[in-house]
């Protein structure tokens, strides 16, 4: 009887999860299709035909069409995963062999979004009941952030899906260490599948996850793993995952750029030119209107006047940042290996390079979103000292002093939605701390540790809140969902207790009344 009841409950949960997947898929499909239709009807100036948008989508589309034509002419051997370094174009070229329609992007992006929501539920199920897990996954499921991605294959969606699959695999491993049916092997396969998905679009993320995974698994093992067999299983599972992370940590153009920046030695004239050069034309469409010297200056003056201070000069910011990472001023730490010193300097160079967008940005909201324009770490020690601040920005930006942008400046979709999400994140994070302290579940070190590590690195290299939000999104939404599930877990008994007390008092009150 007990076995039959348990089996029925599991079947009901599976059906509920399938229903959840279909609902999220249809929601995303409808939202993206509606966004595409509205832009087509309005004839937006950013539209370039077939419902595609100008900027990156149009650029990726041209690359995909060219590569698809080559494959039709010369065969599948001409396939290239990253033509001109762009994975969305490579994947789209393969799709165009079978379905050359922009609506294909809508379908695939909606599918990846729905699968991401399902894997988030599966992750939460390691710590919370099914009902709470489904509710806590709703912020990701209904988030409007991914709905405008209807004109290209969205690498953000694939990054999100890969990150969650990877984390689900790790949790499946550590949750089945003592299972003698080798179910932990499934966790290894899921983790490796996540690594492959991340390698497709953002190989450098595997470079970040490699040391982070070693640290969090080590911490989990020291404080939670008991018995030689469990240790052996954990080590046997960790080895292929770590090797997969190490082997699939290279490949994108960004990795080549990082290696090139590490090799700058005595003559840094090329380095300075790399930092202060203009933002590529293909990127400008996502920053604002076509830039002129007058329009950029006007936008900076607008922000300066509304914030009660003087706006930073973009050229001065770039030059001072470039000087801070110049080989003549940069200081390596004697206690760190040369490779680590080189990586720290390269990340600071990337941070400086992001300030280039200040030179072409005409949207005040974009200029307003840059932070720490007066901080330029010039040594490995200073970079390490900046890590706590980078973690704070990565986790909590935009800070509360920026939430009122739409009230004090102008309308902005970003500053309408994100402050509300951030406020919810603050509240949920408090609940998450309380839940961790109450439950003391050692497995929580894995999602929390990985999320903080990845978000800190992004906070270190991305002084622009818009880019930071996009990069941190998978891990930030994970923390938000864990916090929301914790809040529901904490509040639900209190509400039930209060309701029970109220009903009890009501019964006593009615029992004292005289009968009629």
pLDDT computed for residue 273 by the predictor: 57
Per the listing, tokens 């029992």 go with 511
Record the pTM.
Answer: 0.86
d(CA 451, CA 164): 11
pLDDT computed for residue 126 by the predictor: 94
Helix (H) / strand (E) element for 161: namely helix 155-174
pLDDT computed for residue 368 by the predictor: 86
* Per-residue DSSP letter, 379: B
Write the CB contacts of 12 (distance below 8 Å, at least 6 apart in sequence): none
Instruction: Note the pLDDT tens digit of each residue in 98-131.
Output: 887 767 778 888 999 999 999 999 999 999 999 9
Got the DSSP string for 390-446? HHHHHHHPSPGGGTTHHHHT---SHHHHHHHHHHHHHHHHHHHHHHHHHH--GGGHH
pLDDT along the chain (516 residues), means of 10: 62 86 93 73 51 69 86 88 84 84 82 95 95 94 76 82 97 89 91 95 92 95 89 94 91 58 52 53 40 47 48 81 87 91 90 84 82 91 95 92 82 85 94 93 94 96 92 95 96 78 50 41
Phi and psi based region of residue 170 (left: phi greater than 0; alpha: psi -120 to 50; beta: remaining): alpha
Question: What's the 3-state SS for 434-477?
Answer: HHHHHHCCHHHHHHHHHHHHHHHHHHHHCCEHHHHHHHHHHHHH
Which tokens hold the place of 458?
């992004």
Instruction: Note the pLDDT tens digit of each residue in 310-331.
Output: 557 888 888 888 888 888 889 9
pLDDT computed for residue 513 by the predictor: 44
**Of 186, 200, 205, nearest in space to 450 by CA:** 205
């Amino acid at each position: 009887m007990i076995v039959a009841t348990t089996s029925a409950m599991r079947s009901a949960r599976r059906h509920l999860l399938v229903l959840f997947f279909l609902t999220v898929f249809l929601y995303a499909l409808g939202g993206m299709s509606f966004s595409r239709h509205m832009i087509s009807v309005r004839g937006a100036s950013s539209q370039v035909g077939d419902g595609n948008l100008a900027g990156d989508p149009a650029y990726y589309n041209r690359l995909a069409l060219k590569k698809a034509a080559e494959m039709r002419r010369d065969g599948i051997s001409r396939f290239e995963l990253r033509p001109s370094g762009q994975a969305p174009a490579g994947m789209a070229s393969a799709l165009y062999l079978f379905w050359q329609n922009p609506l294909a992007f809508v379908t695939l992006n909606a599918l990846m979004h729905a699968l991401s929501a399902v894997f988030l539920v599966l992750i939460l199920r390691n710590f919370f009941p099914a009902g709470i897990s489904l509710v806590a996954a709703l912020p990701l499921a209904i988030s409007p952030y991914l709905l405008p991605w209807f004109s290209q294959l969205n690498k953000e969606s694939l990054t999100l899906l890969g990150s969650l699959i990877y984390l689900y695999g790790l949790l499946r491993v550590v949750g089945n260490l003592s299972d003698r049916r080798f179910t932990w092997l499934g966790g290894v396969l899921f983790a490796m599948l996540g690594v492959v998905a991340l390698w497709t679009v953002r190989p450098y993320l595997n470079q970040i996850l490699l040391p982070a995974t070693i640290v969090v698994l080590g911490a989990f093992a020291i404080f939670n793993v008991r018995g030689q067999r469990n240790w052996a299983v954990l080590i046997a599972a960790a080895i292929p995952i770590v090797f997969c992370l190490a082997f699939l940590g290279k490949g994108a153009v960004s990795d080549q750029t990082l290696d090139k920046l590490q090799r700058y030695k005595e003559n840094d004239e090329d380095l300075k030119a790399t930092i202060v050069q203009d933002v590529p034309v293909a990127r400008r469409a996502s920053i604002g209107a076509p830039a002129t010297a007058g329009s950029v200056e006007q936008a900076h003056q607008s922000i300066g006047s509304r914030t009660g201070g003087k706006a930073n000069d973009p050229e001065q910011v770039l030059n001072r940042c470039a000087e801070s990472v110049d080989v003549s001023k940069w200081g390596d730490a004697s206690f760190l290996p040369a490779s680590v010193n080189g990586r720290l300097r390269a990340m600071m160079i990337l941070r400086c390079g992001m300030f280039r967008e200040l030179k072409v940005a005409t949207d005040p909201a974009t200029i307003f979103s840059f932070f720490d324009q007066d901080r330029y770490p010039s040594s490995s020690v200073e970079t390490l000292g900046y890590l706590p601040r980078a973690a704070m920005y990565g986790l909590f930006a935009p800070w509360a002093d920026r939430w009122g942008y739409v009230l004090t400046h102008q309308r902005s979709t970003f500053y309408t939605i994100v402050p509300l999400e951030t406020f919810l994140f603050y509240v949920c994070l408090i609940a998450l701390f309380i839940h961790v302290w109450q439950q003391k579940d050692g497995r929580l070190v894995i999602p929390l540790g990985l999320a903080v590590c990845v978000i800190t690195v992004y906070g270190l290299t991305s002084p622009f809140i818009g880019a930071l939000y996009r990069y941190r999104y998978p891990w930030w939404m994970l923390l938000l969902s864990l916090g929301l599930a914790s809040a529901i877990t904490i509040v639900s008994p209190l509400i039930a207790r209060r309701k029970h007390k109220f009903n009890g008092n009501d019964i006593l009150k009615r029992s004292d009344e005289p009968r009629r």
